[in-house]
A and B are shown apart, each in its own frame.
Chain A
Amino acid sequence: AQKVTQAQTEISVVEKEDVTLDCVYETRDTTYYLFWYKQPPSGELVFLIRRNSFDEQNEISGRYSWNFQKSTSSFNFTITASQVVDSAVYFCALSERTGRRALTFGSGTRLQVQP
């Protein structure tokens, strides 16, 4: 069965600090897909990134970067120079090629960025 673990329940940083959110996954499938979502206080989940299991290239998008390492089954998310607007709950999710179509989510990490 697939499983996603986000061990950090809550992180608090001061603005301009860098912060990394950890995500560890379990799957038996050789082809799978990983996602990150952001849930701001308004409640709606916002898609940030997806990555398939054959693409281990790290990705950078502005202040956001993602580090995918199959060897450690991790897909970590780093925010550089954090801002107050980054305060949200962040979810990591997984889907399998041969499994059900729905995403399996981790328990989420609440990030608070203090001014």
Chain B
Amino acid sequence: DVKVTQSSRYLVKRTGEKVFLECVQDMDHENMFWYRQDPGLGLRLIYFSYDVKMKEKGDIPEGYSVSREKKERFSLILESASTNQTSMYLCASSYDGEYTEAFFGQGTRLTVV
């Protein structure tokens, strides 16, 4: 089975802190994604990566950055956390093909106080 693992299930951080959310997949997928989920808004794409050291902005990249130094690991970084970044963050991965589904991690619920 494909496994996408996010480092934390719940996180509480203070405003202004630098926050790292880690995601690891074990299926040698080329693509990895970070989404943010908010009530009534569904999942919105923050960033994605289709190869090591490659990244592309999604729909809401402001306030976030990413890092992909190894194929299996994709990190989301909140440079200076703010309360409006309180949300559920979902990592996903997929094979690089036209018709491939994405596999998701269990999510990290981040609260910024």
Contact = CB atoms under 8 A, between A and B. Distances in A.
Contact of A101 (B96, B104, B107): B96
Interface string B4-21: 000000000000000000
A105 interface: yes
Contact of B103 (A31, A47, A50, A97): A47
Contact of B98 (A6, A9, A97, A104): A97
Contacts of B103: 47
B102 A103 contact: yes
A102 interface: yes
A90 B107 CA distance: 16
A44 B58 contact: no
25 contacts: A4-B42, A9-B40, A33-B98, A33-B99, A35-B101, A37-B104, A43-B106, A43-B107, A44-B106, A47-B101, A47-B102, A50-B101, A52-B99, A91-B43, A95-B98, A97-B98, A101-B31, A101-B48, A101-B50, A103-B45, A103-B102, A105-B42, A107-B40, A107-B41, A108-B42
Interface of A: 4, 6, 9, 31, 33, 35, 37, 42-47, 50, 52, 91, 95, 97, 100-108
Interface of B: 31, 33, 35, 40-45, 48, 50, 56, 58, 88, 90, 92, 94, 96, 98-99, 101-107
